[in-house]
Structure 1
Amino acid sequence: MKTQLFANLNWLFADRILRIVGSLVIGIWVARYLGPGNFGLLNFALSFVALFGMVGRLSIDQVAVRELTKFPEREKEILGSTFRLKLWGSLAATVLVLPAAWLAQPDNPLFLLLVAIMAFGILFNALDAIDIFYQARVLSKYVVQARSIAFLILSAIRVGLIFGNFSVLWFALASTMEIALYAGLLVWIYRHKEGRGSGWNWQRSTARHLIKDGWPLIAGSLLFILHTRIDQVMIGQMLGEVHVGLYSAAISISEAWMFVPVLIVQAVMPYFVQLRESDPTGYRHRLIQLYSAMFWAGVAVGIITMLIGQRAIVFLFGEAYSGASAPLVLIIWTGIFVAQALVRGIWVISENLQLFRLFSSLIAVPINIVLNLFWIQKYGIEGAAAASLISIGVGTWLVPLIFKPMRQSNLDMMRSMNPRYLFVRS
């Protein structure tokens, strides 16, 4: 079993590295080709669709995996109920996103067409049920293979679109095609490997149980997508597509290094789960050390970005994106809070305090929206970057202090700013 878990983790690591590095390279190439205006329009539409797409996704995956692991004999009803819930959610999201886009941009037919093209991809969320099936069996390699093949093929197509001088509409279509190809490959793998049709069936009681246990995950996912996408939507509404393009370029650079803490946290999670049971004192000390490593890594990345950010933007994206450097030197500092929050996820899950993390997001997201309302109009995309920095910082360091069970974690975070924890053993 340990060998299977290790192999499964390796597949997930490889997939994440491929997609992050590949997306950055192809994304920069597409941005240079389209220019800030069309690149911004594409990201504006993508962010708009993402807000509704998360509603359709119904993030009950972890609950469904848990149920499949505990009750493998109920596989068909769990998968069938999950599929039906996600299908209904996807249909509702697809129906709602189009009139919402028209209300937001009634005089922008190109934006509406981009939204319509990418909204079609929401419908494939229902086939995440196959992903859930393989997660429960610790066989994520099949999902990774499908996702990687789709990603590589559509990356090659995007390069072809650049050389063929195609319009922005084709890049939106490529995004939907990637989702559709991935879903098609998942279905083919499932039928080929399992040697059968789905045979899934709907059970109202199972669906009700999935929603009841999964609502904190659903709410948390919605708040997360709001926090990460609402600024681009608001910039598009208040300033226009060119500014979205500049801001998106800054975000792509600021997020480039985040795969490192994500991979580290995924890799060490089993170690910390075991350490908590065998050595609680050492467990806490090691957590503080990891907090400290993330804090100082974020500081180092922030300082380097402040020194070379302008030149890096121009070198990677071209002179047309030089205006992205100002928000970049602000938003890069969110990496400290995001990295530490990822580490705190180990502690939150170990202590079963997910609900308190949800409460923190419920406060941080409105702060972000309100600050954006005032600062985007006054300070432009620099205001949006500052709003993200402050709201993420408040949500990570300050809001959890309100909740007594979370205070220990926050005090450990603040203690980790002392660099001696990088070197002192327990």
Structure 2
Amino acid sequence: MLSKLSLQNLSKFKSHSGLRAIIANTSWLFADRILRMGASLVIGVWIARYLGVQQYGLFNYALAFVSLFSPIFTLGLDDVVVRHIIRKSSNKEEILGTTFWLKFLGGIASVLVAVGSVLFLGERETLKILLVTILAIVGIFRASDTIELWFQSQVESKYAVIAKNIAFLLNSLIKIALILTKAPLLAFAWVTLAEFVMSAIGLMIAYQIRGFSFWLWRWSSSVAKTLLKESLPLIFSGFAILIFMRIDQIMLGQMIGDKEVGIYSAAVRISEIWYFIPGAIVSSVAPSIYAAKEKSESVYYQRIGQLLRLLICISLAIALPMTFLSNTIIMVLFGNGYIEAGPILAVHIWTSLFVFMGLATSPWFIAEGLNHVSLGKTLTGAILNIILNLLLIPKYAGLGAAIATIISQAAAAFICNAFDTRTQKLFQIQMQSLLRFYKY
């Protein structure tokens, strides 16, 4: 029923001019995410079984710790840059060149901050420090994602998808080889870094094949100031979002131990694997929403409402069956050692409803120039998440962390909009979409 409604919602988008390209672009993004989802799930589960709960928890602790500093290398630029390229395509060399160098410098800064932070917190375990250092270096090579932003702005994501998936598939084969040769934990960190190095090379080749040259990119101080001025709230918002997504694992590691992180990470891996869906849809639909804002306010809000209802339908289609099948899924995939992850998954999966809603409204905040408002509500949710983790983790461990995540996500993506006059119209659209998701 819900999947049928979702398909009806998606077909509605096709009636709008120019959305044939959007559907094609989304299809490529879906193919990319489905391939990654399938391969990552199989290999990720294999790695989890191979490493065991303790080492798997340690690796995920390091990943979560490093991810907290990813806004330093992304600088909140992605959506802002896409919008600037669409508006000023003749100035693309300056926009792309400036974005690349900002991201590159941000990547260096993120390494220094991540390593400095883990040392500042008094960590003395050499393996954990090395894991954080290697995984943090990934941020430097993520500067090449600038090329992907260009393809995204032109609704030509297939070129980025092909380039990055070649790297992903090669990397997956290397991970399998590591498991078969009984490689140590540190080797999996190095191969994670290697994937982003290969992706960077692949994106540069794809850009050149399309007839463009990154040698023409130019740095512009004025463009840098403009981009950073717009993205600054998104940087802090990114920190807040990552607190939602990762602080639970870090707090579990600090308050309970690496084993509990391993159990919780198994549940989160299954729960969050679906987040590619709104990401792929929103990244393809966002340019048409920005364009509609310039032409017609009614069409603009109509598209936002359609996007919300579509993503709510999809999130419910995922959450309902996963709730009842959680124990079986964990047992089949991860084995007896991770059985405690079943109840956690049954609860955490409902976070997807509010994650999907939040991603659906992100183009609205950018189009309205209200990034600072988005920052305020995500910070509120992040602080709430930390407080709830402090209260719930000591008593309920991973289950408490899952409950804290749902409540804080609901507050940031939905409830906070009701208490600000600037976002009350959006809240009304969200409420209507939630209550009438089955109508289009």
Q: TM-score, normalised by structure 2?
A: 0.85
One-letter code of the match for 1:57?
T
Corresponding position: 1:66 with 2:83:
yes
* Aligned residue number for residue 103 of structure 1: 120
Deviations 1:380-416 (A, max 9, x none): 1111111101111122332111111322332343344
Q: Deviations over 1:290-330 (max 9, x none)?
A: 65665565456444333221122111111000111222222
Match of 2:339 in 1: 322
Residue 200 (str. 1) matches residue 227 (str. 2): no
- The Cα of 1:197 is off from its aligned counterpart by 6.0
CA distance in 2, matches of 1:21, 1:261: 17
| Partner Cα distance (1:363, 1:150) in 2 | 38
Q: 1:21 corresponds to which residue?
A: 38
In 2, the alpha carbon distance for the partners of 1:92 and 1:52 equals 9
Provide the residue aligned with 2:431 in structure 1.
Answer: 414
- Out of 263, 266, 270, the residue aligned to residue 249 of structure 1 is 266
Q: 1:288 to 1:201 in 2, by over 3 A?
A: closer
- Secondary structure at 2:384 match in 1: helix
Contact 2:292 2:299 in 1 (8 A): no
After superposition, the CA RMSD in angstroms is: 3.0
1:7-406 to 2 correspondences below 5 Å? 7-104=24-121, 106-194=123-211, 198-265=215-282, 280=298, 291=308, 294-295=311-312, 298-299=315-316, 301-345=318-362, 347-348=364-365, 353-406=370-423
Whether the aligned pair in 2 keeps the contact of 1:292 and 1:418 (CA below 8 Å) is no
Q: After the TM superposition, which of the residue ranges 66-75 and 331-340 deviates more from structure 2?
A: 66-75
- 2:7 — aligned with what? none
Whether the aligned pair in 2 keeps the contact of 1:334 and 1:389 (CA below 8 Å) is yes
Gaps of 5+ in 2: 1-16
Equivalent residues of 2:248, 2:389 under 8 A apart = yes
Residues of 1 paired with 2:317 and 2:148: CA distance?
Answer: 37
Deviations 1:263-284 (A, max 9, x none): 5555666777788867949965
CA distance change for structure 1 residues 336 and 244 in 2, over 3 Å: closer, same or farther? Answer: same
CA pair 379-80 structure 1, distance change in 2 beyond 3 A: same
For residue 72 of structure 1, report the CA deviation from its aligned partner. 4.0
Q: What amino acid is aligned across from residue 14 of structure 1 in structure 2?
A: A
Amino acid at match of 1:181: M
Does the CA-based 8 Å contact 1:5-1:138 persist in structure 2? Answer: yes
Contact 1:288/1:412, CA 8 A, preserved across alignment: yes
After the TM superposition, which of the residue ranges 139-148 and 342-351 deviates more from structure 2?
Answer: 342-351
Distance 1:241 1:104 in 2: 16
Deviates more, 1:379-388 or 1:181-190: 181-190
Higher deviation after alignment, 219-228 or 262-271: 262-271
Is the 1:105–1:112 contact (alpha carbons within 8 Å) kept by the matching residues of 2?
no
C-alpha spacing 1:128/1:385, structure 2 compared with 1 (3 Å):
same
Distance of 2:40 and 2:248 partners within structure 1: 21
Displacement after TM superposition at 1:40 (Å): 1.0
More displaced stretch, 161-170 vs 145-154:
161-170
Of 12-21 and 167-176, deviating more is: 12-21
Greater alpha carbon shift after TM alignment, 300-309 vs 168-177: 300-309
Q: 1:191 to 1:93 in 2, by over 3 A?
A: same
- What's the CA shift for 1:363? 0.8
Task: State the distance in 2 between where 1:137 and 1:268 align.
Answer: 12
Question: CA contact under 8 A between 1:337 and 1:393: conserved in structure 2?
Answer: yes
Deviations 1:189-209 (A, max 9, x none): 334544756143322222112
**In the alignment, residue 203 of structure 1 is paired with which amino acid?**
S
CA distance change for structure 1 residues 68 and 55 in 2, over 3 Å: closer, same or farther? same
Distance 1:194 1:154, change over 3 A: same
Total equivalences in the alignment:
422
User: Contact between 2:83 and 2:287, CA under 8 Å: does it hold in 1?
Assistant: no
The amino acid that maps onto 1:388 is T
Show the counterpart of 2:8. Answer: none
Contact kept, 8 Å, 1:105 with 1:111, in 2: the verdict is no
SS in 2 for 1:339: helix
Change (3 A) 1:290 1:129: closer
Unaligned runs of 5+ in 1: none
Identical pairs, percent: 36
